[in-house]
Amino acid sequence: MTPFDLQYRNAIADIMDNGFEIPNPWSGRVTKMLPGVTLRVDVSESFPLLTLRKIPLKLFVAEQVWYLMGENRPDWLRTYTKIWDDFLESDGTIKAAYGYRWRHHFGRDQIASLIDHLTQNPHSRHAVVVTWDPADDGLAVDSKKNLPCPYTFTVNIAGGKLHLHNIVRSNDMILGCPHDAAGFALLQCLLAERLGVEPGIYTHSISNAHIYDNHFDGAREIMARDHEHPLVKFTAPSGAFHRATQGDGTLVDEIFQQLKSQYQPLESIENLKITVNVY
């Protein structure tokens, strides 16, 4: 199996075998969860694309482009998916839109600042991008429909490679984790392209790694699967970072085609429905 498939399958088995049963009051479902689950892959050797079941490639590609656009309205993204429409506020915006938080919400463009900072100080340990707003998120003071799950990430350049550590407060392991890991590894590749280095280690650390009760059968199916799949290699197209910030739809197609040409997953697992309104 690929490094990501093996770590992911082991994490699913660990949660199913050893997880705590925790009720989720917002959805009415029960979860099995473990704290402090981490997945780690070298993106220069193997892009973290789950092959134990088929996942939609174009969705996470388009989503990351939308994030880099810095939008809080999903109009552009609707060409590819309406997944964020569940979190629309009455004014048509998404209050916790990750890209908007990165680029506008805190009075500075964190992504542009990260690029400038690492260009001038490539060995800095200050390249931190934050999505969570402590003045408005969580701790029983929130009235929004959604809160950031990947709430901060750090970037380090070492050994000529860009390493990204994504910290996730809450991850639906069946539907959310494979999507988020692929998406933020793609972000890592786009940042590396802009800074003229290779992508390196992608680390995905989850504070609350959970499986919903309506996904238990799917989790057991994943635990039983084994799949010999060639390592997926990804190279960001020339100018990819800038093109992403401009919402270049041809970039989405180029990235999709590069990944699709290598992707030979096992069949989809039926009846894996997303749980919405989960904070």
Q: How far apart are CA 219 and CA 33, in angstroms?
A: 13
Give per-residue pLDDT as tens, 206-233. 999 999 999 999 999 999 999 999 999 9
Q: Which two tokens stand for residue 270?
A: 């039926």
pTM: 0.96
How many CB atoms are located within 10 Å of the residue 87 CB? 18
**How many Å apart are CA 30 and CA 121, to the nearest integer?**
46
Is residue 146 packed enough to be buried (19+ CB in 10 Å), middle (13-18) or exposed (0-12)?
buried
What is the rounded CA–CA span in Å between residue 73 and residue 85?
9
For residue 194, the surrounding DSSP H or E stretch is: helix 176-195
| pLDDT-based confidence at residue 273 (cuts at 50, 70, 90) | confident
**pLDDT tens digits along 83-137:** 999 899 999 999 999 999 999 999 999 999 999 999 999 999 999 999 999 998 9
Look up residue 141 and give its DSSP letter: -
Q: What pLDDT score does 279 carry? A: 44
Annotated catalytic residues are 149
Please write the tens of the pLDDT for every residue from 18-72: 999 999 887 789 999 999 999 999 999 999 999 999 999 999 999 999 999 999 9
**Helical (H) or strand (E) element with 8:** helix 3-18
User: Which residues have C-beta within 8 Å of that of residue 147, sequence separation ≥ 6?
Assistant: 96, 132, 137, 138, 279
Domain ranges of the chain: 37-205+241-260
* CB contact at 8 A, 37 and 9: no
CATH code linked to domain 37-205+241-260: 3.30.572.10
pLDDT band, residue 197 (cuts 50/70/90): very high
pLDDT in tens, 130-155: 999 999 898 876 566 789 999 999 99
Strand partners, 129: 153
Is residue 150 within 8 Å of 180, Cβ to Cβ?
A: yes
CA gap 15, 139 in Å, rounded: 26
For residue 164, pLDDT beyond 70: yes
